[in-house]
Amino acid sequence: MEATGLSVGKSVLNGALGYAKSAITQEVALQLGVHRDQAFIRDELEMMLAFLMAAHEERDEHKVVKTWVKQVRDVAYDVEDCLQDFAVRLERPSRWCFLRTLLDRSRVATRMKELRAKVEDVSQSPKPAIGAGPSIIYGATKFGIDEARRQKDKAKVDLSQLIDEGNTDLRVIAVWGANDSLGQTVIIKGEYDNLKRSKKFKLYAWIRILHPFNPLDFLQCIMRQFYQTCFEEPVKTQEQTNIGAQILKKMGAMKQEELVDAFIRHVNENRYLIVLNDVSTIEDWDAIKEYFPNNNKGSRIIVSTQHGEVASLCAGSESVVSEIWTMMEPESTSSETILGTKNYMMVTDENQSAGSNENMVRKGLTRIGTIGGALEESQLVGREKEKNDLMNLILKQDNQQSIVVTLWGMGGLGKTTLIKDVYQSQELSGLFEKRSCVTIVRPFVLEDVLKSLAMQLDTNSKKVEELGKILERKRCLIVLDDLSSVTEWDMIIQSLPKMESASRIVITTREENIAKHCSSEKGSIYKLEVLANRDALDLFTKKVFKEAINLDEQPAMMEEAQRILKKCNGLPLAIVTIGGFLAKQPKTPMEWKKLNDHISAEFEMNPELGIIRTILMKSYDGLPYHLKSCFLYMSIFPEDYSISRTRIVHRWNAEGYSSEVRGKSTMEVADSYYIELLDRSMILPFHYLFGSRKGFSSCKLHDLMREISISKAMEENLVFRMEEGGSMNTQGTIRHLAISSNWKGDQSEFESTVDLSRIRSLTVFGKWKSFYISDKMTLLRVLDLGSTSGLVDHHLEPIGKLVHLKYLSLRGCEDIFHLPDSFGNLKQLQTLDIVRTKIAKMPQTIINLTKLQYIQTDNDINRRDVWTSFCCVVLPFMARLVYPGSVVFPRGLSKLKALHTLECVDITRGEAILQDIKRLTRLHKLAVAGVHKKNCQEFCSTLSHLTCLKSLFVGSQGEAGLHGCLDGLSSPPKTLRSLKLWGALDKLPEWIAGLHNLVKMGLWYTELTEVEGTIQVLGKLPNLSVLHLWNKTFKTAEPCCFATRREALFPSLTLLVLEYEPGIGSVEFEEGTAPKLELLFFRHSTSFSGLSSLPSLKEVRVHEALHNDDMKDTRAQLAMNPNKPVLKFIA
């Protein structure tokens, strides 16, 4: 089944289960007398989730099953909405009094009964057996969920029957259950003990397979248990005898040869029962099975494993008869089956499996051929630099070991074409004695890969055994194309011997984490980017016209070509495919316009263009279910939209897409999802945040990946986008609504298109309309009005009715001055983003929001907007009360115990706010403004209590600035990783020298006079990676020299930023200083020395205003640097 529905279904079920299992839900259910219904619903959802997990692995395109999955998804949505609503209303005291009334109890009970009935209907609905022959059979889809629930008990009986049934042949029974999900060990152990007591077998042994497998330890363990069985009978008459001592004495006197002989004698002459627990690889079984020939005495071997393929192969041994219980129709007569405690099994009919695998391999080869054909004509247009770079990496000298080079990037970039051209190049042909290029096909079979390598490296040999000899003796070039998992690499590399040091392995993959796993050296990892605009146009014209022509002379054609190339966004696969299609059409602007106007439909319906979607879908299909939901969610955003990392991560968290895992918070897990989507090339990095250890602060969706996201999200009724010219027909209940900037509909159309009572998120782009917030939106979790124009204070009045709201963003809404008092009703709110609004004071009711974790405001205290100017000119007394760029918070802020991020707080007035902050011991990030002589002592005391603090911004304006305000901090937070100071200091506080965990430092208007002392303090911080020096960092009579002389300073510095006028005239790097500096950025005229001695320098960025300055000396120093750093001019 195409996995989108399954993935969305599993995400929703996980959310519903989270609420069903929560303590608050159980409390509501107990108090309202519906706890039995709640428990039933919870158990049913748990069972549904188990079957969806199984179905995700199958991906069978059965329409009836797809319908069932959608039913499961919809009922899970209803359950989650209902349970969450009960929980929210229990937390509202004003409502709780009413809930206690008999009438309301009756309503809740009725709703729970309805939910229970709906869940029961879906659970018991008939579902077909999926797949035939060599395919996965789902117990749930054959017998229904009720039958599946009884399988655990039935498995015990079945296992006993399998052991008893049959003739005297040796029989292998493979028991398969992922993560021991239904207690397979307990089932096996119970039957093992029963048989041991009944003495149905002569010998018994229970062995846990350890890694690496040691044959001698294995035999000793078996013989110890065999001897124990033999000694147990005599011991009844000799109670004082110690069995263990007897066995130890007997085995200690035996030589290794005697032990082996004794084992052979025992397994040949006796009927035995052996349990092999935790067999994890087929290699384990291959090593073990040779010890147990068929002795025709009715012996049994039980193999317990968590891997279905291992179970299948264990049962497929030619030396045994394998009859293992399966969940098939009674009339089925399969001779080889597997007991599946995960409620599904794999039929292992050997002939059928072989044919199926062969077909799958052929399909894989066909796909590769199609991709290769589509890209073959790209002729490496615009890839000359990339080819040279790869050649240099391959030819890099390393006398110690062979080098692994990895080439990674999103699907369709032409990785295969590029590496094929490198592989066949004349420059490499004479440097390697043997060469081999293998494309990894699915399903992955290690033996096939090794055989292919052996055949290509030695045409006279097809034996894998010969491969080792070749690799040890010859200088080889091996290309492994399209690696899709680290497991595949581990299996391949572990099967290869130590290669000749001059040999090279080149790998292509779509995922960065695989590239990093395969190549231990960072310098051997190469990311392939999209084509530059000019190269993309050249490739397009060559494909359409069979030669490069100048379209600038045909403006109408050029306009349409640019529209096509914008959609392709530099992706060679798309350019070549569309170009090939247009080469057979009339070459007119009208024909190209016709394609542009319907290009989305063409990608789905036109067979010639379908290859683009097919190849890109491979990346989507490979996503785990939780990432699929996150990816589809991003279809909310418009084309070419820069999606903030913070914004999308906070939204995923509010939607319940992440949950706590092994000590990681839900936000940390959501952020790891973002990183993983980047690593998998599903989203494109867009804006690199200077000084951020997290890397890219925003991303974009490639236009073609966005088409897939939109298509799949609509298919699952996940996201609906209201836009002019788009379809306004919805099929089913929509959960996420996005209103495009060009939509011109009215209230009637708005309310009739979507069931507003069921939507969970509303995102508005463009101009605000008063009806966008509706009383019907009772389940809304996310309200994102970032940069919405025309939004004013009174439009927010209804917001207090959105009691489920978890995320509220008003970022960039510059006409918002106040939050309504009803804001205090949002008891579920976790994130509040009011950056770049005019809000200067929080309502008193904010202290009621005890679940609030993130308050994001401006921390640019230099901001001078209309509101600030108004205060200063018209109401000067208010200007003294409201610190520019910060927000005044009411007393009682200490009630918000869950706060993680608090910025930017005006602490000018009194000590009460500092007393409140002091009690927020979970704070990780704090920004304050208004530190002065009167409150600085209390502020320092507050900081000493915030033991979890990782990021701190402190600001103060005016001549006094921060003079002496921070000296009283005796014990700064040891966890501090980021420190930003704004305001006059003269010199750095002494405690900064002790911040050994500090990674990032920023200084604004600090007017430091001790230049050398500052350099010494900062330079000795062992982990300082990022240093920002902004306006007036230093105050000296003449622009100072930032010199890193005398000793090795800045050992961990990777980024140095000199913004505007920091008071620095020159920078000197002495050899040995800043050994890890990779990026240098400056905006003002500065002279440098020592750039040639920076061993890690990769790039120097200069503001474009300095483009005409004399940069000859800087260029000369960079030219002398062995790394050949790049000089870039940026806006």
pLDDT of amino acid 401? 67
pLDDT of amino acid 147? 45
Q: Could you give the 3-state DSSP secondary structure of residue 891?
A: coil
- In the predicted structure, residue 655 carries a pLDDT above the cut 70: yes
Where b means 16+ CB within 10 Å and e means fewer, 108-131 reads: beebbeebbebbbebbeeebebbb
Q: What share of the chain has pLDDT > 90, as a percent?
A: 26
Q: Which of 438-452, 556-570, 861-875 has the lowest mean pLDDT?
A: 861-875
pLDDT of amino acid 412? 87
Domain borders along the chain are 3-124, 137-348, 361-527, 533-614, 623-716, 999-1131
The residues with which 198 forms a beta bridge, in sequence order, are: none
Q: What are the tens digits of pLDDT across the range 252-289?
A: 778 888 888 888 888 888 999 999 988 876 667 777 88
Q: Domain 361-527 falls in which CATH fold?
A: Rossmann fold (3.40.50)
- In the predicted structure, residue 42 carries a pLDDT above the cut 80: no
pLDDT of amino acid 316? 52
Q: Binning pLDDT at 50, 70 and 90, where does residue 325 land?
A: very low
Question: What's the rounded Cα separation, in Å, for the pair 989 and 995?
Answer: 11
pLDDT of amino acid 834? 94
- Cβ contacts of 264 within 8 Å, gap of 6 or more: none
pLDDT of amino acid 173? 87
pLDDT of amino acid 727? 72
- Answer for the pair 97, 813: CB distance below 8 angstroms, yes or no: no
Q: What are the tens digits of pLDDT across the range 677-719?
A: 988 888 888 876 554 555 678 898 988 888 889 888 888 888 9
Q: Can you list the positions of beta strands (E) in 323-467? A: 339-340, 344-346, 403-408, 434-439
Return the ∠ at Cα 907 (arms to 904 and 909), rounded to 5°. 145
1124: which 2 tokens? 């050949």
Fold agreement (361-527, 623-716): no
User: Higher pLDDT residue, 47 or 252?
Assistant: 252
308: which 2 tokens? 């279905």
Question: What's the rounded Cα separation, in Å, for the pair 906 and 330?
Answer: 75
Q: What are the tens digits of pLDDT across the range 661-671?
A: 878 899 999 99
Q: How many whole angstroms from its chain centre is CA 584? A: 42
Q: What are the tens digits of pLDDT across the range 359-390?
A: 333 333 333 333 344 444 445 788 888 998 89
- Cβ contacts of 280 within 8 Å, gap of 6 or more: 209, 211, 305, 306, 307, 310
User: Higher pLDDT residue, 90 or 154?
Assistant: 154
pLDDT of amino acid 640? 85
pLDDT of amino acid 254? 80
Domain 623-716: CATH class, spelled out: mainly alpha
User: Higher pLDDT residue, 293 or 780?
Assistant: 780
User: Higher pLDDT residue, 804 or 401?
Assistant: 804
pLDDT of amino acid 241? 52
pLDDT of amino acid 1023? 93
Q: What share of the chain has pLDDT > 70, as a percent?
A: 74
The strand pair at 476-483 and 643-644 is best described as unpaired
1023: which 2 tokens? 């982990």
- In the predicted structure, residue 472 carries a pLDDT above the cut 90: no
Q: Side chain identity at 65, as an amino acid letter?
A: V
A 10 A CB-CB count for 150 gives: 11
Q: For domain 137-348, which CATH number applies: 3.30.230, 2.40.160, 3.40.50, 3.30.1340?
A: 3.40.50
Question: What's the rounded Cα separation, in Å, for the pair 630 and 19?
Answer: 20
Mean pLDDT for the chain? 78
Q: What are the tens digits of pLDDT across the range 59-107?
A: 545 555 666 666 777 777 777 777 677 667 655 554 444 444 445 556 6
- Cβ contacts of 25 within 8 Å, gap of 6 or more: 19, 38, 83, 86, 87
pLDDT of amino acid 403? 83
Question: What's the rounded Cα separation, in Å, for the pair 296 and 294?
Answer: 6
- In the predicted structure, residue 841 carries a pLDDT above the cut 70: yes
3 state SS for 465-489: HHHHHHHHHCCEEEEEEEECCHHHH
pLDDT of amino acid 461? 59
- Cβ contacts of 422 within 8 Å, gap of 6 or more: 387, 390, 391, 394, 428, 506
**Mean pLDDT within 434-460:** 81
Q: Which of 165-169, 188-192, 622-626, 650-654 has the lowest mean pLDDT?
A: 165-169
pLDDT of amino acid 179? 47
pLDDT of amino acid 819? 94
**Mean pLDDT within 298-302:** 90
- Answer for the pair 985, 1008: CB distance below 8 angstroms, yes or no: yes
What is the spatial order of strands in the sheet that 403-408 belongs to? 434-439, 476-483, 504-509, 403-408, 525-527
Question: What's the rounded Cα separation, in Å, for the pair 230 and 215?
Answer: 23
pLDDT of amino acid 745? 87
Question: What's the rounded Cα separation, in Å, for the pair 1044 and 1066?
Answer: 11
Q: Could you give the 3-state DSSP secondary structure of residue 105?
A: helix
pLDDT of amino acid 357? 34
Q: Could you give the 3-state DSSP secondary structure of residue 125?
A: coil
pLDDT of amino acid 459? 54
